[in-house]
């Protein structure tokens, strides 16, 4: 079978879906949903996007969030 050409692989942490509208959000320096006009926090330690507004620690690495 033919080998699949490798697409530009995004890091896993950059594939995020908005919890409000289920649309994939743009994750750059600051994650932002264009549909809801909502921005999300980000873990300073591992770069994971924090979806829960009230989260006090990173769900990915467990470090406390500021
Ligand atoms: Zn959204
Ligand atoms: Zn983290």
pLDDT digits (tens, 9 = 90+) for 1-25: 777 766 665 554 556 788 899 998 8
Q: 39: part of which helix (H) or strand (E)?
A: strand 38-39
The answer to whether 11 and 44 are in contact (CB under 8 A) is: no
Q: Which of 40, 6, 11 is nearest to 23 (CA)?
A: 40
Residues contacting 36, CB < 8 A, separation 6+: 18, 20, 21
Q: Tell me, in angstroms, the distance from the centre of ligand 2 to residue 35's CA.
A: 25
Q: Tell me, in angstroms, the distance from the centre of ligand 1 to residue 2's CA.
A: 37
The arithmetic mean of pLDDT across residues 45-55, rounded, is 86
What is the rounded CA–CA span in Å between residue 36 and residue 26? 12
The arithmetic mean of pLDDT across residues 19-37, rounded, is 87
The pLDDT of residue 50 is 87
The arithmetic mean of pLDDT across residues 34-43, rounded, is 90
Predicted structure pTM score = 0.60
Q: Tell me, in angstroms, the distance from the centre of ligand 2 to residue 14's CA.
A: 13
Other beta carbons within 10 angstroms of residue 14's beta carbon come to: 16
The arithmetic mean of pLDDT across residues 56-63, rounded, is 92
Q: Tell me, in angstroms, the distance from the centre of ligand 2 to residue 21's CA.
A: 24
Ligand nearest to the CA of 38: 1
């Amino acid at each position: 079978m033919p080998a699949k050409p490798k697409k530009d692989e995004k890091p896993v942490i950059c594939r995020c879906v908005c919890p409000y509208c289920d649309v994939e959000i743009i994750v750059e320096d600051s994650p932002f949903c264009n549909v809801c006009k909502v921005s999300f926090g980000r873990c300073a330690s591992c770069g994971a996007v924090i979806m829960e507004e009230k989260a006090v620690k990173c769900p990915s690495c467990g470090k406390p969030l500021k």
